[in-house]
Structures are given as structure tokens and as C-alpha cells.
């Protein structure tokens, strides 16, 4: 049968055959697909692969470290991080409309990634772009290959014409569960291998209202608590995902510590799903919900209320924006 180790060996052979003595570049998102794709190509061509990671400031707590420290430790891959946090905040200033946020984030991401790629390509003559395209993506898009368009997880177009790469897609024949098995076998960190789906625009579309540095810090803290408690409860692999959403333009009265507060609610959105097309709200145990609520309102000063979203999809989408 097609065991995980034979998948790995065959893929490494195929990448070596394709890239030869060439050089490649791979954008890391913090998610499992790009990490496994990069790890495979790293095994195949070593330091002739450069990974590029754009920190857009919309990631969750610990995700940058997972890439910079844990992914690099596990793979030995050469990594170039671009700190673009201020740039994204500037571009998002004053913007509340969800579609506009997505457009801006997608546009800025492409610009930053292009600039970083151009920089690497200039000094190293890079001819190949690695992408974490999975088999279902291949089927969905009609099976085409070879053209350098960035995967639409940032909901945007492709690379400019003057930067031509041949695509390397080591996961093209694999389903998600196979990708996770390959990642585990390659020794990638658990946090990456079993990361739940997380949208390209990140926390930017989980702040209802304008995205600011303070609001991001608030949401990041609340989200980290929810994820931590879900993990302690052993439920993080049972659910599809549990977005935490900050209602940044809503305030309500509370009593915390010494007196009256006028803070923001966060929404817990735990969902169960097979493919994200439809979803059911997850009946999390009350004691877990209580722990999450107590910890968030104790530990995150700006949040004085935790509410639970009990809407299925349809009619609600999984994300609030």
C-alpha cells in the first residue's frame, strides 16, 4: 500500500527530479499545508529552498514562534521572516467593512510577499515556487498546473508577470489527513500538524469593527485562553474550529474587581463540520464553557462578557465576517 513513508520518499524523488539543481521559495502561512510542503521540499533540496513568512500581525498567540522556532527546529529550513505588522495596521486603519478588510489584507499580503520573494530571487536566481495545493484543490480548480498563482487562501490574484516561477506542488496527490500524517512523520510540531482551519485574513475578520493594535491584543489574549482550555479538555481535535470574535464596537456594563466596567463582549463560536460548507454549533460541556468564560473575564481586562453562538451554518457562516 501507499504508506506514509513511501509517500514521503516518492515525493522527495519527484521534487528532486523537477527542481534539479535549481532553487525554490515557499511562503509559510503558519498552517499545516504550507509547512508540510516546505518540509518535504527541504528534505529534497535542503538549503536551496528559502521559506518566506509574512507576519501580518493578524496571527494568533504563539503562531509566529511556531514557525520561527518550532518549524525551523524540526526541519532546519532556511527562513526569511518579514515583520509587516505596522504596514497592515496602517492599511486597515478606519476600515470596518468585512469585504474591504479582506481586500486590503489580500492586497498588502501579495505586495509584501512579492517584495520578499523578489529580494530572495534576486540574490539567488530562484526558479521555483512551492505551494501546498492538495488533491481536493486540484480537482476543484479543474486540474491545471504549472502557473504561478498564489493559492487563494488570501483571496487574491497571482504573482506579477515579471516574476515567473515554475510551481512545485508536493501535496497535489494528497488529502488533508495524509498531509497531517506526512507532517507528523517528518517531525513537525503538533501545533502545526493539527492546527484547525484558520482564515488567511486571520484575526482581522474576527474583530467586528476597525482593526487596531489594542483590539488585536485583546482578541489574541481571549482566543489563547479558549484554545488552551479546549486543548486541556481534549476537545480540540473533535471540533472543526472555535473562532473567538471581539465585538469591538459593542459595550456593556459589568462589575469586575473594584467596580463598574464598560467593556466589550467576545463571542465563542465552536462548530462541528466535515468540510466547512455546513456546520453545526458544538454542544461544549458547560463546565468547559464556564472555565473559558471565567478565565477570559478575569484575565482580559477589556472583556467583561462572554457569549455563545448557537447558530448552525446555514444560516450563519462560521466566521462572523
- Whichever of 66 and 297 has its CB closer to ligand XMP, that residue is 66
CB of 320 to ligand XMP, least distance (A): 8
Q: Tell me: is residue 31 an annotated ligand-binding position.
A: yes
Q: Tell me: is residue 90 an annotated ligand-binding position.
A: no
Torsion of CA 32, 35, 40, 42, to 10 degrees: -170
Q: Tell me: is residue 6 an annotated ligand-binding position.
A: no
- Report the half-sphere exposure of 79 (CA within 13 A, side-chain side): 26
CB of 179 to ligand XMP, least distance (A): 16
Three-class secondary structure assignment of the chain: CCCHHHHHHHHHHHHHHHHCCCCEEEEECCCHHHHHHHHHHHHHHHHHEEEEEEECCCCCCCHHHHHHHHHHHHHCCEEEEEECHHHHHHHHCCCCCHHHHHHHHHHHHHHHHHHHHHHHHHHHCCCEEECCCCHHHHHHCCCCCCCCCCCHHHCCCCCCCCCCCEEECCCCCCCHHHHHHHHHHCCCCHHHHCCCCCCCCHHHHCECCCCCHHHHHHHHHHHHHHHHHHHHCCCCCCCCECCEEECCCCCEEEEECCEEEEEEEEEECCEECCCCCCEEECCCCHHHHHHHHHHHHHHCCCEEEEEECCCCECCCCCCCC
CB of 249 to ligand XMP, least distance (A): 20
Q: Tell me: is residue 142 an annotated ligand-binding position.
A: no
Q: Tell me: is residue 32 an annotated ligand-binding position.
A: yes
Site residues (CB under 6 A) for ligand XMP? 102, 153, 155, 197, 199-201, 241, 276, 313, 317-319
Question: For the chain, what's the residue count?
Answer: 321
CB of 63 to ligand XMP, least distance (A): 14
CB of 315 to ligand XMP, least distance (A): 11
Crossing angle of the two packed helices 176-185 and 4-19, in degrees rounded to 10: 90
- Whichever of 97 and 299 has its CB closer to ligand XMP, that residue is 97
- Whichever of 49 and 318 has its CB closer to ligand XMP, that residue is 318
- Whichever of 199 and 263 has its CB closer to ligand XMP, that residue is 199
- Whichever of 52 and 203 has its CB closer to ligand XMP, that residue is 203
- Whichever of 5 and 152 has its CB closer to ligand XMP, that residue is 152
Q: Tell me: is residue 33 an annotated ligand-binding position.
A: yes
Q: Tell me: is residue 44 an annotated ligand-binding position.
A: no
List of residues 6+ apart from 138 with CB closer than 8 A: 145, 169, 172
- Whichever of 3 and 278 has its CB closer to ligand XMP, that residue is 278
CB of 273 to ligand XMP, least distance (A): 8
CB of 88 to ligand XMP, least distance (A): 15
Binding residues, by number, are 29-35
Binding residues for ATP, by number, are 29-35
Amino acid at each position: 500500500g501507499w504508506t506514509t513513508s513511501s509517500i514521503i520518499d516518492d515525493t522527495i524523488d519527484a521534487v528532486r527530479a523537477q527542481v534539479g539543481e535549481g532553487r525554490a521559495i515557499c511562503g509559510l502561512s503558519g498552517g499545516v499545508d504550507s509547512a508540510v510542503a516546505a518540509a518535504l521540499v527541504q528534505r529534497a533540496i535542503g538549503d536551496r529552498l528559502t521559506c518566506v513568512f509574512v507576519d501580518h500581525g493578524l496571527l494568533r498567540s504563539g503562531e509566529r514562534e511556531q514557525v520561527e522556532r518550532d518549524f525551523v527546529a524540526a526541519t532546519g529550513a532556511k527562513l526569511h521572516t518579514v515583520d509587516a505588522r505596522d504596514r497592515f495596521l496602517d492599511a486597515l486603519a478606519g476600515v470596518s467593512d468585512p469585504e474591504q478588510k479582506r481586500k486590503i489584507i489580500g492586497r498588502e499580503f501579495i505586495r509584501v510577499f512579492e517584495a520578499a520573494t523578489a529580494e530572495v530571487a534576486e540574490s539567488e536566481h530562484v526558479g521555483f515556487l512551492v505551494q501546498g495545493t492538495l488533491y481536493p484543490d486540484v480537482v476543484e480548480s479543474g486540474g491545471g498546473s504549472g502557473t504561478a498563482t498564489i493559492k487563494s487562501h488570501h483571496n487574491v490574484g497571482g504573482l506579477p508577470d515579471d516574476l515567473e516561477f515554475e510551481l512545485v506542488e508536493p501535496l497535489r496527490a494528497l488529502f488533508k489527513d495524509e498531509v497531517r500524517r506526512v507532517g507528523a512523520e517528518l517531525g513537525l510540531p503538533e501545533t502545526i500538524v493539527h492546527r484547525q482551519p484558520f482564515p488567511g485574513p486571520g484575526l482581522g475578520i474576527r474583530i467586528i469593527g476597525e482593526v487596531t493594535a489594542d483590539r488585536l491584543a485583546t482578541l489574541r489574549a481571549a482566543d489563547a485562553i479558549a484554545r488552551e482550555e479546549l486543548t486541556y479538555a481534549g476537545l480540540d481535535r473533535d471540533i472543526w474550529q472555535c473562532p473567538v470574535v471581539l465585538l469591538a464596537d459593542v459595550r456593556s456594563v459589568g462589575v469586575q474587581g473594584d467596580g463598574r466596567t464598560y467593556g466589550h463582549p467576545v463571542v465563542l463560536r465552536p462548530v462541528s463540520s466535515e468540510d466547512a460548507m455546513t456546520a453545526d454549533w458544538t454542544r461544549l460541556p458547560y463546565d468547559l464553557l464556564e472555565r473559558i468564560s471565567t478565565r477570559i473575564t478575569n484575565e482580559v481586562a477589556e472583556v467583561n462578557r462572554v457569549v455563545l453562538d448557537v447558530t448552525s451554518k446555514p444560516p450563519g457562516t462560521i466566521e462572523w465576517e
